Chains A and B, each alone.
Chain A
Amino acid sequence: MTMLKVENLSVAFGGVRAVSNVSFEVGQGEVYTLIGPNGAGKTTIFNLISLIYPPSAGRIVFEEQDLARMAPHRIARMGIARTFQNIELFEHATVLQNLLIGRHVHRRTSLAAELLFLPSVRRAERESRLAAERVIELLELQHYRDTLVAGLPYGIRKVVELARALCTRPKLLLLDEPSSGLNVEETDDMAFWIEDIRDDLGVTVLMVEHDMGLVSRVSDRVLALNYGEAIAEGKPEEVQAHPAVIEAYIGTAAT
């Protein structure tokens, strides 16, 4: 079953065609990876899905709904959560508070009730904390629960960002370079978690990644991009062996 369908997507910034005519489909329960050299338009596609900017042409359809008509903040409520390439956490809040902000889409209490902290708010808070605690357990963040994000090392921040995205209970998780800046061991953990997220939580994952080891280990399908255009799609090993992909990464042989 198709969860996310991207049709003939294009976006141009002035004269730069960052993404041109890209189409792909992500099926339910799949790990789908976008690869490509720097500037290929991978993160741009993520930003188009999060509606940070509008596409020049093409459609993005999530569960039969066209995202073009949505307000940006509705995306999370529809079940799409994301992480950022350069980590966008709430720096001056603790890890737990960051995760609780991830629960925002599940807010049911009104402002007046919150000002008086009525019993309904207290109940909702307990539920949010229970949900956040489950994610903390899954990603082994217990030790950092009450630490300010501003004082955390890079690798942990990366995990906190993943945890915050999971707290929204997404159907589709967009991971922008989950392994960038992580050491070998941390990348290994990340691979385990991505597999767990797909298999145990049933979350579909769309990922941008450079580490080919991680890509071939967890991805079901891969799409290679270059200069904003799709050049190859298929199983990880097929895409890796595709002549156009090799050319994009290392160029053609001198003749």
Chain B
Amino acid sequence: MRFIFKTDYDQDIRLIRHGGQVFWYGALLAVLLAAPWLLPEYFVSQITFMFIYGIVGLGLMLLSGYTGQISLGHAAFLAVGAYAEALLAENGWPFPASLAVAALLGAATGVVVGLPALRVRGIYLAIATMAFGFILEEVMARWESVTGGNSGKQVGAVSLFGWHLDTEAGFYYLCLALAVAVTFLMLNLLRSPTGRAFVAIRDSEISAQSMGIHLARYKTVSFALSAAITAIAGALYAHKLRIVTPEQFTILQSIEMVMMVVVGGLGSIHGAFFGAAFLIALPQAIVLVKDYLPDSIGQATGLQPTVFGLILVGFILFEPLGLYGRWIKVRSYLELFPFYRRGMFRRQKAFMKSERLK
């Protein structure tokens, strides 16, 4: 058990709290940097996907986990980023410029989608964002002159300052760098007034407003940032798959994203990456065990969605804080051994709430 004696406000402001974190995050980074040499190409490619989904997770985490706004249309932002990148790369734009444009376009879309969030909430917001997702899916399929319709659009390798990142390892490092950068920006945001305003909106709109937080502005900012981050992931996604088609960005994709942040753990940065790792690893695991199951189950259609659904329900019922919550519990168990109690993380429920805004 580690006790930190605080003597300075900077100790709370700093991102790294103690030496142990330097060691462990350093070790993680070292392993990730060495991975392309150590692992076969297939695994490197899977970890690249994990970074991309991790960035998506960060974007959705900001909106759902920290601002408390539901979105069932996040695949649309991924699509905006992917198509923007595909088009701009085709016209020979350098990657940093096209990435920036993709992010800005994503942010602009986010502002538009965020408009209903200023009026509706909860399930209604989910429906509004889902409707937006459907609209954009149609647009992608029908606007053939730009999007290439249902046959989609080919995307080349990333060209960065004259290099062509057409190897698996090169692209891996690019995704790693962007994942780290986005994480860093998120952490900064969350330790400053804007991030706290998001949390305030999530936990109680009425008192956020009475603390002087402009609800409409901050919700819009949250939607814009979330969409921009997701669009950045979309740009990487386009390069990773080398093709963009409308069926990559359906409602199912949006639901998988929501599942990712819920399973990972709402309201934590770790949760975004845990969720991404889970989302990548689960289909692989299903494929692995499929052959050992009786045919009536193993060969059944819809096995994967069923397993996904069961796991989501399981997490909501038994571990609302997701994998991150589980991780915290395991860690406390080890730190406090043998004094860990089962009820330690049980929270008191407050049933009284004063009147809500509309």
Contact = CB atoms under 8 A, between A and B. Distances in A.
Interface of A: 47, 50, 52, 71-77, 81-82, 84-93, 96-97, 100-105, 107, 109, 111, 114-117, 121-122, 124-126, 128-130, 133, 148, 150-151, 164, 168
B193 interface: yes
A151 B347 contact: yes
A122 B357 contact: no
Main secondary structure of the interface of B (DSSP, over half): helix
Interface in B323-344: none
A103 B350 CA distance: 25
A150 B348 contact: yes
Interface stretch (B51-59, B108-116, B199-207): B199-207
A105 B212 contact: yes
Given A52-B357, A86-B353, A114-B192, A101 B211 contact: yes
B9 A125 contact: yes
A53 B214 CA distance: 16
Interface residues of B, number: 39
Given A76-B210, A86-B353, A114 B189 contact: yes
B159 interface: no
B211 A125 contact: no
13 contacts: A50-B210, A76-B212, A85-B354, A86-B353, A88-B207, A104-B196, A114-B189, A114-B195, A129-B9, A133-B9, A150-B347, A150-B350, A151-B347
B267 interface: yes
B206 A71 contact: no
B313 interface: no
A73 B207 contact: no
B101 interface: no
Contacts of B189: 114-115
Contacts of A88: 204, 206-207, 353-354
Given A109-B193, A151-B348, A101 B204 contact: no
Contacts of B150: none
B111 to A, nearest CB: 14
Nearest to B68: A92
A168 B200 CA distance: 15
Contacts of A107: 193
A71 B214 contact: yes
The 7 A-B residue pairs with the shortest CB-CB distance, nearest first, are A76-B212, A88-B207, A114-B192, A90-B203, A105-B212, A117-B188, A86-B354
A125 B14 CA distance: 11
Contacts of B188: 114-117, 121
A230 B210 CA distance: 26
